[in-house]
Amino acid sequence: MPTAMLINGVRVPSATGEWFDVCDPATETVVGRAPMANEADARAAIVAANRAFRSWRTATAHERAELLHEVARKIRERTDELATQLTLEGGKPLLENRDEMGWSAACFDYYAELQRNTRGRVIPSVEPSQLAMVLKEPYGVVACIVPWNYPILLMSWKVAPALAAGNTVIIKPSEMTPLTTLLFAEIFDPLPPGVVNIVTGYGATVGRELVVNRDTHMIAFTGSFATGREIARLAAERVKRTHLELGGKDAFIVAEDADLDVAVPGVAWAALLNAGQVCTSTERVYVHSSIAKPFTERLVEFVRALRLGPGSDPNTDIGPLIGARYRQKVEEHVDEARSQGASILTGGRRPPQFARGFFYEPTVLTNVDHSYRIMREETFGPTIPVMAYRTFDEAIAFANDCDYGLGANLYTNDPKKVKQYYEEVKAGTCWVNDPLTDNDAGPFGGMKFSGGSRELGEEGLEAFLETKHVHWDFNQEKKAWWYPYRT
């Protein structure tokens, strides 16, 4: 298994020759190791990316499209291998990781084509002898810093549009899940050396160097609010462009007309996919008081029937959490809620059948309110706290009573409620009767503490382009408004 990094088209170990272990969260055993890059490795990648930028930026849209389609083709060709590796280090069920590879390939195909259509414009000039143009051009070198929950998809949402726009990139995967990304050293083979570089290691060293180094020109980051804020601060001191996709605390409103045969599994899916470790996981459910009892009873019954296990087992619905400290946070939120008076209707503990692995039982809670941390802070685990509401205005107010604004969900067929919901809820994505569906053509991102950036769609390509206004006069002549002619 190649675990070398990729710098200037060459597979290399770290400068110091050091490695770090990567664990399977289902068994807590070491399943591989990755190079422990330091600042020197980051700088080598930055030099390579800057050198490659000179020719990559002038490649034609057609040439770039062919190469990006080739990357997509290679992802599809190796889906099984990539998905198996990702299940081993990330814990998600294999089926979900196969989907992740499919979506990632689709993203490369999408931006291969989109970049052929979007460019600047010619604008009216102020003199007849002039041509005035608004050009869109790449930033240069983009550092793509990625989390562990969807490491390949979130890498693709950055790398595909960044390359399509003519930038070169340095990928820094999470230290929890670097191995699948390292396999991409081969997937990116068709690209010229230095156009894509991959460095592994810790955020505080190699990640930070990518942010502060004056020869990276943009930082595309997905991860926690705390890290995003630190990166924003470091970048602001250098007036460097950032693209931030941060955490969430998504609300799910279930109206009184909801079909419970659909809403119960729909809410469970939105809350428990990837063991609740999706940035748009439902972390708060608001259900109309008239149906709160049957909804909750059926939700508990549904959740109890879900099967926990390693992602490699085809019968598994829900895998482990990624690591000890992440499970500890979930436990703190649930235990604190319990001690404050919440009712734990199912779950609320480590499953006794697993001696090892970072498993946590899917948990349904009621008797909670917004004074509980589990209703305010990102839990990032398999928890479904349910609150009843009386009026739709109250449900919207509950949904908005949160620092985050990534996504939101609603089940109803009442068009008046739908309109009020998408007009008033502060969230970057509003799903109606369609929890958590992705669409490459639509922008994805958040409001408030979730970051203001957008990936995917036309906005996702625009993000990697900057604007230049060109004034071109065909005549070299003195202007009437210069010294000493002006009156």
Residues 245-274 as b/e (b if ≥16 CB within 10 A, e otherwise) read bbbbbbbbbbbeebebeebbebbbebbbbb
Rounded Cα–Cα distance for residues 242 and 339 (Å): 41
Q: Which is nearer to ligand NAD, 61 or 447 (CB)?
A: 447
Rounded Cα–Cα distance for residues 465 and 89 (Å): 34
Catalytic residue among 96, 209, 245, 378: 245
Rounded Cα–Cα distance for residues 363 and 194 (Å): 46
446 binds ligand NAD, rule: CB under 6 A: yes
170 binds ligand NAD, rule: CB under 6 A: no
**Which residues have a Cβ under 8 Å from the Cβ of 155 and sit 6 or more positions away?**
104, 144, 146, 171, 173, 181, 184
Phi and psi at residue 254, to the nearest 5° = -115, 110
- Segment lying near ligand NAD (by CB under 6 A), choices 99-107, 207-215, 418-426, 474-482: 207-215
What is the smallest separation between the CB atom of 224 and ligand NAD, expressed in angstroms? 3
Rounded Cα–Cα distance for residues 214 and 283 (Å): 39
Site size with ligand NAD, rule: CB under 6 A: 32
What is the smallest separation between the CB atom of 277 and ligand NAD, expressed in angstroms? 7
Please identify which residue in 35, 166, 223, 319 interacts with ligand NAD, judged by CB under 6 A.
223
Q: Which DSSP letter does residue 203 get?
A: I
Residues 289-308 that bind ligand NAD (CB under 6 A): none
What is the smallest separation between the CB atom of 262 and ligand NAD, expressed in angstroms? 26
Q: Which is nearer to ligand NAD, 91 or 147 (CB)?
A: 147
SS3 284: strand
Rounded Cα–Cα distance for residues 396 and 126 (Å): 50
Q: Is 230 marked active-site? A: no
Q: Which is nearer to ligand NAD, 93 or 405 (CB)?
A: 405
203 binds ligand NAD, rule: CB under 6 A: yes
Site map for ligand NAD, 366-405, x if CB under 6 A? ------------x-x-------------------------
Please identify which residue in 86, 146, 185, 321 interacts with ligand NAD, judged by CB under 6 A.
146
Residues 265-294 that bind ligand NAD (CB under 6 A): 279
Please identify which residue in 247, 382, 405, 457 interacts with ligand NAD, judged by CB under 6 A.
247
Rounded Cα–Cα distance for residues 8 and 264 (Å): 50
* Strand blocks (E) in 210-281: 218-222, 241-245, 250-254
Catalytic residue among 279, 283, 361, 378: 279
Q: Which is nearer to ligand NAD, 166 or 320 (CB)?
A: 320
Q: Which is nearer to ligand NAD, 171 or 300 (CB)?
A: 171
What is the smallest separation between the CB atom of 42 and ligand NAD, expressed in angstroms? 10
- Segment lying near ligand NAD (by CB under 6 A), choices 15-23, 63-71, 246-254, 471-479: 246-254
Burial of 459 (0-12, 13-18, 19+ CB in 10 A): middle
What is the smallest separation between the CB atom of 450 and ligand NAD, expressed in angstroms? 6
Q: At what angle do helices 415-424 and 392-400 cross, to 10 degrees?
A: 30
406 binds ligand NAD, rule: CB under 6 A: yes
Q: Which is nearer to ligand NAD, 412 or 453 (CB)?
A: 453
> What are the start-end ranges of the H helices in 32-149?
39-56, 61-77, 79-90, 94-114
- Segment lying near ligand NAD (by CB under 6 A), choices 167-175, 260-268, 283-291, 464-472: 167-175
Q: Which residue is nearest to ligand NAD (CB)?
A: 203
Count CA within 13 A, CB hemisphere, residue 226.
4
**Which residues have a Cβ under 8 Å from the Cβ of 176 and sit 6 or more positions away?**
22, 89, 90, 148, 322, 323
Site map for ligand NAD, 81-110, x if CB under 6 A? ------------------------------
> What are the start-end ranges of the H helices in 305-359?
324-340
- Segment lying near ligand NAD (by CB under 6 A), choices 6-14, 37-45, 217-225, 381-389: 217-225
Query: Going by DSSP bridges, is the β-strand pair 130-138/121-123 parallel, antiparallel, or unpaired?
Result: antiparallel
Rounded Cα–Cα distance for residues 203 and 201 (Å): 7
Q: Which DSSP letter does residue 425 get?
A: -
Q: Is 245 marked active-site? A: yes
Question: Which residues have a catalytic role annotated?
Answer: 245, 279
Per CB under 6 A, residues contacting ligand NAD are 145-150, 154, 172, 174-175, 202-204, 207-208, 211, 222-224, 227, 230-231, 245-248, 279, 378, 380, 406, 446, 450
